[in-house]
Amino acid sequence: MPIGGRGLGSYTAPGVNCDRCENEATVHEVTISDGQVLEVHLCEVCAQETGVVSGSPAPVEEILKKIAAGKAAEPTAACEACGTTFAQFKQAGRLGCPECYQALEKQLGPILDRAHQGAVHHVGKVPKRMMQLGGEGAGLVDRAAALAAAQSRAEQIRRLRADLARAVNAEHYEQAAQIRDRLRQLQHGAGTDSETAEGTA
Amino acid sequence: MSAPDEPNGAPADNRPERSGGKLPERLFEAGTEWLRAGGEASDVVLSSRARIARNLAGQLFVHKAAPTDLRLVLEACRDVLESIPLGARNTWLELHESPAVERSLLLERHLISSQFAKGKLGPKRRSNDWPRAVIFGLPDERSAVMVNEEDHLRLQVIRSGLALREAWAEADAIDDRIEAGLDYAFSPRLGYLTACPTNVGTGVRFSVMLHLPGLRMAGEIEKVKHAAADMSLAVRGFYGEGSEAFGDFYQLSNQTTLGKSEAQLLDELAEKILPEVIEYERQSRQRLLEKRRWQLEDTVHRAIGVLHHARLLGVDETMKLLSIVRLGVCLGVVDTIDVTALHRLMLLVQPTHLQQAAGKNLAQDGRKRERARAVRERLAAM
């Protein structure tokens, strides 16, 4: 999303902390405003709050104001089934129980995204008992086919993100802008499918 | 979540107490499938492995669960696993009850992971209060299931040579049979739910153990590592995660588990990167043979000379030498040594196997002496 001026899109830069809180930044924006290159690094949650990854463009001043307003409150969600918090997960590197995936869904999003190259849906084997659940089971089978198609799109997005990072690093801003536009088209396509849109960066 | 009332360590139910299993006698002498030296492309690919991670629905993951919970999981899994033939006969071993030397032996045979052997899984999980077990099929040890490792079930099938499809077919069939008796934690959106989000989805990891002395001598190993990283594949050492590659043996495996079917993951490894790596390794070996034949022969025969005559041998050095000899055998530079015998030697020189064969515990110096003696004796018999 352009943050005022000319937006150059996102790229990956592992190990950088969010400008607003202490989480690892997963959204990195480079823009040119009045001839100056401006870099913003945000985590998933802050990126959404500031509108960097939402549909509505926000002027750079507003975003910087929000960032300057201080650290966002640490998410304190805990799994109701086992009590595991996101902080505990980060420390142990393991979740407490199967329910944690649902309870900590928001915070886990960027982690799953990184670990699995942007994939957000299971494709592949399904327990037979799920297949025997009638409607739901049949739905799963249909979805497996649909997801196989979505997979190639995810792979394209991953490649484009890497290209974008390279173009930005090499300061080929025009090329970067073109790649960003192609990425948006693809991501917009994904956005029309409510199943595949959730959790994407 | 289950929250049994029994105090720690109490029997979980009224069933008669079962034994924790016994290590088969003289297991250290037996060959295993992954060292059989057969199958496709076995000049470069030592073995292929399919690993499946599964958890039981409604149970805490292992690092969070109380020992009593884990005991329940162990018993539930044991009932099902003992009814599935993993080989001609199954062996069930409870590792919280077994001595460290047994666990180390299983680790050296690639039947359990390093953290499972050491009994460390985070601050809460220590060896003695961590009910855990392994069940494997004899005589070839090609199928094994760890119970209460990082996930409740970690199933692996290993096949000699390049045989990922065969390994997956077997693992898949065993998984079906386990699933018929146990409810897995599964989400329609995220697939099989695992303790670590990096395994969620299929829960499947495919890996191959490669012998790449040609590429190492040509200084091309880094290129392979970069190519693997570009394709989201991990390169690991002889004993898996966190271990060093010794003797030019490298494990290559997929890292992503979500968003790609088992068949896609398999194809990426088996169809895309592996044929290229195998081809590059073979080309490097051929170039050595054509352009530096005398240096190659010298290196191989010097290695044999050291193995024949050394009086002290460390495990790293021995593996390096055996790796060079293996290269020589594969290229026909040596015709008096059999690859299968060489593979058995690779296992025998591991510290615990060595001590088991010697029938006594040995300090490091003693092990070096014993290793040199054992290698000498075995080579003389070839």
What 3 state SS string does chain A have?
A: CCCCCEEEEECCCCCCECCCCCCECCEEEEEEECCEEEEEEECHHHHHHCCCCCCCCCCHHHHHHHHHCCCCCCCCCECCCCCCEHHHHHHHCCCCCCCHHHHCHHHHHHHHHHHCCCCCCCCCCCCHHHHCCCHHHHHHHHHHHHHHHHHHHHHHHHHHHHHHHHHHHCCCHHHHHHHHHHHHHHHHHHHCCHHHHCCCC
Distance from CA of A18 to the nearest CA of B (A): 22
A115: nearest CB among B193, B198, B260:
B198
Contact B201 A124 (CB under 8 A): yes
Contacts of B226 in chain A (CB under 8 A): none
Contacts of A190 in chain B (CB under 8 A): none
Residue with tokens 């033939």: B85
Contact B183 A101 (CB under 8 A): no
pLDDT at A150 over 80: no
Q: Yes or no: say if B250 and B235 are a contact pair by the CB < 8 Å rule.
A: yes
Cross-strand pairs, A10: A29
What was the pLDDT predicted at B1?
44
Contacts of residue B229, Cβ cutoff 8 Å, sequence gap at least 6: B235
Contact B60 A136 (CB under 8 A): no
Contact B64 A97 (CB under 8 A): yes
User: Can you read off the two tokens belonging to residue A101?
Assistant: 């995936």
Measured between alpha carbons, how far apart are the two ends of chain B, in Å? Answer: 58
Q: Give the mean pLDDT of A99-111.
A: 93
What residues 55-94 of chain A have any CB closer than 8 A to a CB of chain B? Answer: 81-82, 84, 92-94
Q: Hey, is the C-beta of A105 within 8 angstroms of any chain B C-beta?
A: no
The yes/no answer to whether this complex scores an ipTM above 0.95 is: no
Q: Yes or no: say if A24 and A15 are a contact pair by the CB < 8 Å rule.
A: yes
What was the pLDDT predicted at B308?
96
Q: Which of B66, B257, B254 is nearest to A97 (CA)?
A: B66
10-residue stretch averages of pLDDT, chain B, 382 residues long = 39 55 81 82 95 96 92 94 94 91 93 88 68 94 96 97 96 96 93 96 96 92 86 78 72 92 92 91 96 95 97 95 96 92 92 94 95 95 84
Distance from CA of A143 to the nearest CA of B (A): 9
Cross-strand pairs, B159: B48
Contact A129 B176 (CB under 8 A): no
Contacts of residue B223, Cβ cutoff 8 Å, sequence gap at least 6: B215
A116: nearest CB among B172, B188, B259:
B259
Of the listed ranges A70-74, A87-91, B186-190, B225-229, the least confidently predicted one is A70-74
Q: Hey, is the C-beta of A129 within 8 angstroms of any chain B C-beta?
A: yes
DSSP B57-69: TTS--TTTS-HHH
pTM as predicted: 0.74
Which amino acid is present at B103?
A: R
Could you give all domains of chain B from N- to C-terminal order, each with its CATH number? 17-283 (3.30.590.10), 292-381 (no CATH)
Sign of CA dihedral B192, B193, B199, B205: negative
What are the tens digits of pLDDT across the range A122-149? 999 999 877 665 444 445 444 454 555 5
pLDDT at A178 over 70: yes
Contact B261 A123 (CB under 8 A): yes
Contacts of A132 in chain B (CB under 8 A): none
Q: Yes or no: say if B133 and B92 are a contact pair by the CB < 8 Å rule.
A: yes
What was the pLDDT predicted at A135?
46
Contact A119 B197 (CB under 8 A): no
B262: nearest CB among A97, A119, A124:
A124
Q: Hey, is the C-beta of A110 within 8 angstroms of any chain B C-beta?
A: no
Residue B125's Cβ-count burial label (10 Å; 0-12, 13-18, 19+) is buried
Q: Give the CA distances from residue B139 to residues A21, B12, B24, B31, in Å, rounded to whole numbers and listed in that order.
A: 56, 32, 10, 8
Contact B260 A124 (CB under 8 A): yes
Q: By CA distance, what is B122's nearest residue in A?
A: A92
A148: nearest CB among B122, B256, B261:
B261
Query: What does the DSSP 8-state code read for residue B28?
Result: G
Contact B256 A116 (CB under 8 A): yes
Q: Yes or no: say if B262 and B172 are a contact pair by the CB < 8 Å rule.
A: yes
**How far is Cα B204 from Cα B360, in angstroms, rounded to an integer?**
39
Q: Hey, is the C-beta of A121 within 8 angstroms of any chain B C-beta?
A: yes
Contact A98 B187 (CB under 8 A): yes
What was the pLDDT predicted at B93?
94
Contacts of B196 in chain A (CB under 8 A): 93-95
Question: For testing the chain B interface, which of A125, A136, A140 should be mutated: the one with the most B CBs within 10 Å?
Answer: A125
